Amino acid sequence: MKLQNKVAIITGSTRGIGRATAKLFAKEGAKVVVVGTKEELGESCVAEIRQDGGEAIFCKTDVTSEASLDALLQASLDAFGRLDILVNNAGVGGTTANMNQITMEEWDTVLATNLTAPFVLCKKVIPLMEEQGGGTIVNIASMASTAAGRGGLAYTAAKHGLLGLTRQMSLDHGRTGIRVNAVLPGPIDTEMIARVLAVPQHPVTMKVKMSPATRPGKPEEVAQAIAFLASEESSFIHGAALAVDGGYTIF
């Protein structure tokens, strides 16, 4: 198992890509900290992992609260004694409002969750990993990390920022044993874009049909890429942006 005895925190892991990642990590031998705001969903994820013989705990966390992130780290260390992997997956979408329409409230909410939260958590986690002699961080960015038009103003700005943060942290901390990479999912069949994919004539839906894969991705397919980057199988990969989008962004 590629993640045997590794301890992993996965934010936003009560549903979608995060939940699929938590379950896969556990199957690969990791001890998983499931993180989210919905206690019922979190506990059900933990129950599924334990039913399959894995180890996991749930920690109810508001990633936009520094105090809540401190509690998350403490609970993780109390339960498992160390931290080897951090997956920054928690995120929120935004509207397609332009500069004349977007509100400061929306801007602040999207940036706080999608960019500031990963920054704050990495700032707390990296010193712990360096003391242990190494660790891996996988940031879940987006196809909106590399081009406009694939998210709203705030979402695109936040995801561009997350990719830049990934690369800079990799450069700054790679020599101390910290590998930092990003996964860039394309259209994935989750709640976040279900409404879009349900409209046959929506530009995204039409482009998905024209892409090499001809379909949206599954959360489990993104989870496989995350597990690869979190494991020693990717030991020579630093600062990478791995697109998992069925070819959506190549044209």
Q: What is the DSSP letter of 133?
A: T
Any residues with CB less than 8 A from the CB of 241 and at least 6 apart, and which?
141, 145, 146, 163, 166, 181, 182, 184
Q: What contacts 24+ positions apart, CB below 8 Å, involve 105-108?
A: 106/154, 107/153, 107/154
User: Quick one: how far is CA 173 from the chain centroid?
Assistant: 20
User: In the beta sheet, which residues pair with residue 241?
Assistant: 182
Distance (Å, rounded) from C-alpha 112 to C-alpha 103? 14
Q: Is 248 a catalytic residue?
A: no
Residue of 25, 58, 80, 155 marked catalytic: 155
User: In the beta sheet, which residues pair with residue 36?
Assistant: 60
Distance (Å, rounded) from C-alpha 27 to C-alpha 30? 7
The residues carrying an active-site annotation are 155
